[in-house]
Every structure is written in C-alpha cells, then in structure tokens.
Structure 1
C-alpha cells in the first residue's frame, strides 16, 4: 500500500467500526434471516455469485464481525486505494464512496445488498488488474490475443479460502516487465506533479557547436528526462550530444547525436502523452498475464526487432520488417508456438495476394510474374497460354500459385513456422535493403528477419553440437527440408509503444499502426485518466 493510501486507510478503520456497531444493534436471529434473504435476492442476478453464496448458505464474507471478515474488508479497501497505481479507473474503486455506502447500510436488507455489491466489486477489480479492463479484439480487430480470463466462481472461492491481502497482491501480472512499467508510471506521475519536462525545444536543426536559447531548452529538457546530468553549458557540447544519443537510442532513432526533425518531434512529445503509452503498455501486459516460456521469441512490431529471450534476457536480436500500414497488410498480434523451420522453402502465395495483385497483372499479360508457377487443384502446373485470365475475378479464380525454392524466393532460404490461422510466420527475404530503413513497414503481414541464418543457428543450438554445419548441410541440397524443433518455442507477436529494457531503461516507439491511440481512447472511456502525484 502506498503512503498516500495508508493515511486514508486509517479513516476507513474508524468508519468500519461504526458500521460493525450498527450491525450488532438489531436482534440477532431476525437480522441473520433478513440478511441472508437479501444476499440471495441480490446474488440471484449473477450466476457465479448465486452459486458461491448458495454453497455457504448465503453467509457473508465482507460485512460480518469476525476477524476474517475484517481482514477481507481491509485488504479489499487497501487494494482499491491503490487501483490508480495500476492505471485502473479510480472512480470505480473509490474507497471513500464505498465506505459511505457501508455506513449508510442500516437494515439487514441494505447490508445484504452491500455484501453482494462488494463481491461484485471484488470480481470486477480482480479481472481489471489481472487480465485487463478492455477486451482487446473489440478495440482493435488485429489483436488476436487469447486473454487468460479466470472463472469468476473459482476466483471468489479461492479468495475466500486464502489470505486476503496475499491473494489480492498476487492478482497483477508478476512479470518483470509489469513491475518495471509500474515503477516508471509512478516516476512519471511524480514528474508531472513537478511540471513535467519543462518547455518544448524550439524548431530548427541542432548539432555540435550550436548555441542560443534552443540549446538551453534542449539541455534543460534532456536533464529533466534523465538523459544527461545537470549542466550550465549554453553550447551544444559533448555532454549534450551524448544525452541526445541516449535519447535517440531509447526512442528507436538513429543515434547520430544531431537533433533533426524526427528527433525534435520525439523530444517535444509531452510527458503526459508518454505516460499514456505506459498505461496502455500495462493494460497490454495484463492481457498476457501467463508465463511466456523460459525461452521464447519476442517480436515487438513497433520496435522492428525479433528477439530470442532466455529467462528475461535477450540472447539473440535481429532487425525485422513487419506488415505495411495498409489495413489489410498490418501484422496481427497473437501468441503461438514455433514447431519447425523449413530450409529452402517454397512460397505458396496467399490467395489475397493472388487475387488482389497477381490476377490483374495476369489479365494484362499472361506471362507476368513468370517466376511463379500456377497450379490447379491437384497441384499440376498449368499452361498460362491456354488460360483466358480475363474471365476470372477475385471470387472465382480457380488456381493456386507457388514459387519454388531459390535465392530469389519471396521467403528467402528459410522460414520459421508456428502454424496459425492467420498464415503469419518469420522468414528470410531477398529484399535486404529494407533493413537499413528506420521504419520498416513493408511486408504483407509476415515478419522478415535480417539475420535468418543466425536466428536458425541459435534455435538449433539446443539440439545439435554444430548448428551451423547442420543448417548448411540441408541448405546446400537445394531441396525443401523441414526441421522440427525438439523443444518448441513460444512466439509472442506484440505491439508496445512503451517498454523497458531489462536494465530498467524506459523506451518509446512510434505508434505505427495507431493501435495504442485507439486503446488509450477506449481506456479513457472506461474512466482511466493520467494523474500527477506529489510526495
């Protein structure tokens, strides 16, 4: 519990004492009967709570006078007092309002209604802090995440049998990333109470040797952001250059130490906006509140990298190209398990590409895209000259298309498979020039890797003493070869505009698909707000 919450909590205890005294004032038997009837009536509208209270003969768990009841009330109100720390809608969990309602409950019927209401609040809070406020696919259809929702009856039953404070403390994600994001959120909130990052930096290119008011504003802002130590310099010196480079690295920018248009735009993003990104990242982390796998592959779309993680530490990192910004080409977000790789793969062209891109080309010229085979339903190659492509459209085109293994294959020389309904995988590419771009949104949705061979070596290192030799022995045959992973690896394709390095360094990236902006708007509609906290 935060220091702020502790002061308020003492007031809760005084008010609770009055509530308990009121409960004891009525004749015991009549009160118990009327109370249980009220619990039954109020719980009847909620299937999980109706079953829960029926199993305990409609006895309460919150509003009684036992030490267990008091412990549950205290733990719940304490958790509610800290709901804002987790970026939850504080109005839903206002302890002062809830205490006023408790005090106003005079009759057994009102106390029974309050009993059920507290259980409903507990279940809502548990879901919000454990698995998120929003249903992700309802906000952004490209988020295909399987959120690990807990059963409501099992949740309250487990709570009733557990240590209340310990149970509530266990609900938020236990991942190191969530802990680091929470710490950074509280830091930014304290910074906002002190005025944020100060005045924005005036426009214009800034580099070593520059001087004037813009350099002073840049210096002060970098100091407030934590990218350089305090300094009295009014000249763009080595300390400012180093601070700019640290800022650029933390924001996925070219670390050239020069404040150009892109760097200036990122520097002038307000602290409040960055805090919104952190809150969104925490909500996203709650959607993934389950073990990631001691070894897993982490693909943050906004960061344009694919990472092999071992026990929360990156052991291999490579640049990636992701889906283009067009709505039908954006890479989806989901988790699955990588089971095998294919060396010298064929490319079986997705039907969406066939009908949207290749069919119009074939209608103009039957010999277009000649490097790709056209096959019938039995896999037999057809004679292009014998087909009138003009008679077909997107709905009735009867053929498939396949590009055989080659160095020019659209998938390159290796692809990494985690079979999924979205037909998304990681793969090599002959278009190596795209990896030098800062923003790499060019694919049809799959994830292209800059270092696919090295990625394969790292994956194979767990099952062969010579992963490089093994890989090339299959590659050199030129034949399509499937290689199973003896230990399949979880793959998480995520989208984080705010994330931390394992060292704790907070990073930000561009919202390339605009998804986090939509999530923030949805959170705000649920009552989530940016706050500034002192002390």
Structure 2
C-alpha cells in the first residue's frame, strides 16, 4: 500500500512540475522558496504560536527547522489557533459550555513523505485548507483592515478569532449546505457558493445556548407533535400543571407512558407530580403537544439528528422576529419563513412532489418526508461575516465566546 501511495505522489509531482535535487531533509529549493513566500504573507493565517521558529527559519533557512515549522503550520491550519479548542469545552462566566470542534489528524511522517516525494507546499497544505468561503473572505478583510491605522486592535482580534473558528468547522462542508450563524440570527442555504435562501432565526437563550455542530439533514416532519423534553417538563410544565389543573387542555397536551401518542394514557392524578419538580434525570411519563395549527413547533420541522436534540422548526411566536436580538428558544432554531424553507428543500432535496407535500401538510396529521440529496447543516458562531465576500458584518458576542476563547499567540 505504501508503495502505491509513493507512486501516486511521484506521479502528482511530475504533473505539478516540482523538480530539483532534495537535501537530506527532503527539501528542494523550489519548495523552500514556495514555503517562505507563503510564510511572508502568512497566506493561511497559521504561523500563530510559531513566530519565534519562523524568525529562525527566515534567518537560517535551515531544513530541519523548516520541516518542524511546516508540520506546525499544517497543524495550526487544520485545527486552528484557539487554545484548547479541541476539548470542545470552555468556561463562559462561571459555567462550562460546549463548543463543537472537529479536530483533524496531522501526521508529520505523511507530511515529510510528501515533501520528500517532491509535492509542492500548496499540495501538502490543500487537504487542510477550510472549504468554507468565509476563510478566504475574512482573511482578505483582516489583511486590508490591518493596513488601516484607524482599525482597532479589538476589531482585528474579533476577525482573527472568527477565521480560527472557520478552521474548526467540520471538514466536508458540502457543495450545498445550510449555515445557521447564531450571533447573526440568520440561516442561509448556500448552493454553488451563492445564497439560495436566507431568513431570520430565533436561537437559544444564554442559559440554553444553541450548540455549535454539524450534521446532515435527514428528514422533514410535517405537522409535528412536540415531545416535551424532561428538563422542560420538570422546570416548566409540571410546576404550571400543579398550579392549574386545566393546563394540559389549554396547551393541547396529553400525558402518555412514552412519546408515542399510541402509548398508555395517563392523567395527572395517576402520578406523583411533585416528585418530579426540578432536578435532573428522566421522567417516567411524557407530555406531548399534539399536532395542530397552534402547535408550539408550528407546522414543520427539519431534522438533522444530533445528541443535542436540536432542529429547525416553525413557531407560533412570529412577533419575536421583529426584535434585533433573538435569544428566546430552549436551544432549537425557530424559522422566520418556514414555508419558504419547506418549499425549497422539498423541491431540491426530496423526491416528494409539491402536490404530495401539500396534501400531507393540509392533513394536520404527522408525516415524515425523507431527504434524498445531501444537505449538511452547520450551526456556527461567527461574530464577523463577509456578505457575498465583500461587506464585513460585525455582530454582538451574545454568548460571550469572544471573551472566553483565547488565541494562542
């Protein structure tokens, strides 16, 4: 297998035109010059904590030091320059919170093997360059503003922090994908690098943050039931039910032994409700809001299965979209124009006809529509964003991540 890899690399080298006699470390003069050119402008924003080593390399052009720097540069490009980002946890205020990161394995032996085989530095770095356009767009904005004496250090740090966040996004972004930018309160469907759909969203409260993660959209639920999470049952539904015996009827809810509407019926009198007020852990009975035009989840939700139990959905609280800051959900993402999203996704990412979608939608019964074309969904926390790779937009640090995440340089 290793022989095949070397032959493939050698063939790629012939195509790339990288020639010359390698030294004992495997460096050719063309590779050294190329790497020094990349480092001079820090093209991929990845010198980071290696400034001292870079100075030594620039002065000496020592091959061993250059090999060490190439590996470090690749590591910083692949996994970012935010301290402890790969641990997926950080302290925000006094609480530990999750921030999804997708570390990539960087093998120094593989890098050196490619180097010795004669691959160009660009070829070696290419697998680790973020696919998301915001990487190059934010980098360009950063370099332009850095030359402007009127640009504050805090603004430069904010842009740089978001460049590093883009590095942490899940590889395999997809040609088409949905991006939920949490601090912007916007979701976009990007297709062939153009915005096909965009709308406002409501995201999680500061104490119930919408998490940063990536998963593929798998199905659409029409006329969903709301299966009340145990945490909400303990802290909201049960306390209200104890105060008002008619609470379930008013909110179109039923009690069952499981989240299946066909499971055993229960009544508030048949269980010890007080035993499940507050605290944590599973509740041995479930509250379900049945499908209706007034259901809290609205008429549609979009499921990209994840351990956070987060999804995009319709909402009855349309008035919230008039507000500038929209942190009101329990973590899920509420859509401003759910029917626009439904029409676009059902047309382009399912094999279900528009007529069949309407029939299922109008039935007021729960139906599931399978996604047949890949559409990754990425939730991101970008407090700077370039609109169409031109105008730099800056958003408030609603969850405090800008303060909590530290750059390692």
SS in structure 1 opposite 2:355?
Answer: helix
Correspondence for 2:179 among 276, 290, 298: 298
Q: Give the greater-gyration-radius structure (CA).
A: 1
Please tell me whether residue 125 in structure 1 is matched to residue 73 in structure 2: yes
Q: 1:263 — aligned with what?
A: none
Asked if residue 431 in structure 1 is aligned to residue 317 in structure 2, the reply is yes
Listed one character per residue, the Cα deviations across residues 365-420 of structure 1 (whole Å, up to 9, x for unaligned) are: 44434322121248312022233322334346421111110122111110001111
* Structure 2 gap ranges (5+): 1-20, 92-96
Mapped to 2, the partners of 1:396 and 1:340 lie a distance apart of: 26
Deviations 1:208-265 (A, max 9, x none): xxxxxxxxxxxxxxxxxxxxxxxxxxxxxxxxxxxxxxxxxxxxxxxxxxxxxxxxxx
Does 2:48 match 1:89? yes
CA-atom RMSD, angstroms?
A: 3.0
Range with greater deviation from structure 2 (315-324 or 93-102): 93-102
**Partner residue of 1:318 out of 199, 220, 233:** 199
Query: SS where residue 407 of structure 1 aligns?
Result: coil
Q: 1:479 aligns with which of 358, 365, 373?
A: 365
Structure 2 CA distance for aligned equivalents of residues 301 and 497 of structure 1: 9
Hey, what's the Cα distance between the residues in 1 that align with 2:267 and 2:103?
Answer: 48
Displacement of 1:486 in angstroms is: 1.6
Which runs of structure 2 are paired with 1:119-518 in the superposition (5 Å)? Answer: 119-134=67-82, 135-136=85-86, 137-139=88-90, 141-167=97-123, 170=126, 171-192=128-149, 196=150, 271-288=152-169, 290-326=171-207, 329-370=208-249, 371-377=252-258, 379-393=263-277, 394=279, 395=281, 397-462=283-348, 468-518=354-404
Distance 1:122 1:409, change over 3 A: same
Aligned residue for 2:340, secondary structure, equals helix
Measure, in 1, the Cα distance between the counterparts of 2:238 and 2:350.
Answer: 44
Take 2:59 and 2:305, find their aligned partners in 1: how far apart are those partners?
54
Paired residue secondary structure (2:81): coil
- Report the alpha carbon displacement of residue 503 of structure 1 after superposing the two structures with TM: 4.7
Structure scoring higher RCO (CA < 8 A, sep ≥ 6) equals 2
Aligned partners of 1:348, 1:466: CA distance in 2, in Å? Answer: 26
Is the contact between residue 84 and residue 90 of structure 1 (CA under 8 Å) also seen in structure 2? no
How many residue pairs get aligned? The number is: 375
Look up the match of 2:13. none
Larger deviation, residues 439-448 vs 503-512: 503-512
CA distance in 2, matches of 1:167, 1:466: 42
Write the distance in 2 (CA, Å) between the matches of 1:433 and 1:382. 34
Contact 1:145 1:335 (C-alpha < 8 Å) held by counterparts: no
Contact 1:306 1:317 in 2 (8 A): yes
The structure carrying a bigger helix percent of its residues is 1
Which has more strand, going by share of residues?
2
1:32 is matched with none
CA distance in 1, matches of 2:205, 2:346: 30
CA contact (8 A) 1:457 1:467 kept: no
C-alpha spacing 1:382/1:465, structure 2 compared with 1 (3 Å): closer
Contact 1:80 1:93 in 2 (8 A): no
Asked if the contact 1:159–1:167 (Cα under 8 Å) also holds between the matched residues in 2, the reply is: no
Report the secondary structure of 2:147's partner residue: helix
The answer as to whether partners of 1:83 and 1:93 remain within 8 angstroms in 2 is no
Indicate conservation of the 8 Å contact 2:39/2:47, yes or no. Answer: no
Shift of 1:118: 4.3
Residue 464 and residue 99 in structure 1: after superposition, are their counterparts in 2 closer, same or farther (change >3 A)?
A: closer
TM-aligned CA deviation for residue 516 of structure 1: 2.2
User: SS of 2:139's equivalent?
Assistant: helix
* Matches of 1:409 and 1:125, distance apart in 2: 51
TM-score, normalised via structure 2 length: 0.82
1:84 Cα offset (Å): 8.1
What secondary structure is seen at the aligned counterpart in 2 of 1:179? Answer: helix
> CA, structure 1 residues 464+144, in 2 after alignment: closer, same or farther (shift >3 Å)?
closer
* TM-score, normalising length: structure 1: 0.64
